[in-house]
Structure 1
Amino acid sequence: MRYPQGGGLTAERQQFREQLRLQAAERFERGDASALIAKDLRVSVRSVQRWRRTWSEGGPRALRSQGPASLPWLSEEQFAQLERELAQGPAAHGWEDQRWTLSRVKTVIGRRFQLTYTVQGVRKLLVRHGWSCQVPARRAVERDDEAVAGWVKEVWPCAEGSRRPVEPGSSSKTKPASP
């Protein structure tokens, strides 16, 4: 099951799912069929089969909740420290240009806090704290803004006016005046 906002189950929902698994464990001991258990608990047969396999390997204890899938590794205090590090800029951390990338932020987290994040994990961490990803506009090094402005003023109006001529039999919406 996927969660579109990147979250997992709430604590209440996790507890509810654990209770379902433990009820299934009681039914496994009685020898009930997987299809019947799935129907009664309103879950998929595959889930019941997976639970049965886990139960047969580790008993009812193996069906207990393992807790949240992942906790934020950086505390609020550590994230505040990270923000101070980022405010110093990339040059303070050894990069030549003044552009933060997710992989660079990942490197700073690794150096400063000895934690390993994935690039997507860094993105989620930053978004969760109100940061947004911004892609810089790419422009050619050779770009001459004055020449572009002149072209837009002088050449573009002429190019705009030179459309296909309207002739009898053309598919133009406007019809030429009748003689």
Structure 2
Amino acid sequence: MVIFEVSIVMRYAQGGGLTAERRAFRERLRIQAAERFAHGEENAVIARDLRVSVRSVQRWRKAWSQGGERALVSTGPASLPLLSDELFAVLETELDKGPVVHGWPDQTWTLQRHGWSVQVPARRAVERDEAAVAGWVKETWPRVEEPRRRSGHGSSSKTRPGSR
């Protein structure tokens, strides 16, 4: 039996980092900014024209002033895979066996990369009575829900003249 403990740190909820196309797009923006740095343009003008934050342009200008245009070239993804292709194949084999085999109580595990997707059940009971739920929402919920806005003594709401 093969046991893996995988710890993945992702910067983005969507699955980690920028796509290759998005990285290339950002690099083109930085190169355009570098050309404008060379012409002495101000950060705020560059940021507005390129539709980026002034802070980003400030970081780019600092990197450019220290290392030239080469300092603005993308160096690829922030992190590289930690598993070799061979180990990843073993991991996929284990994932194919399912979470229950590995001690997980249900089917809710996931890997967003390499074709694995979120597996979350709908969480609706088979015995669910839609008519009873609709009746509860219509009749009971309005009685138990607290009012969102209170008016009267001590309230900041005002009555318009002629509205009473």
TM-score w.r.t. the length of structure 2 is 0.50
> Which of the two has greater helix per residue?
1
Task: Give the number of the structure with larger relative contact order, counting CA–CA contacts within 8 Å between residues 6 or more apart.
Answer: 2
TM-score w.r.t. the length of structure 1 is 0.46
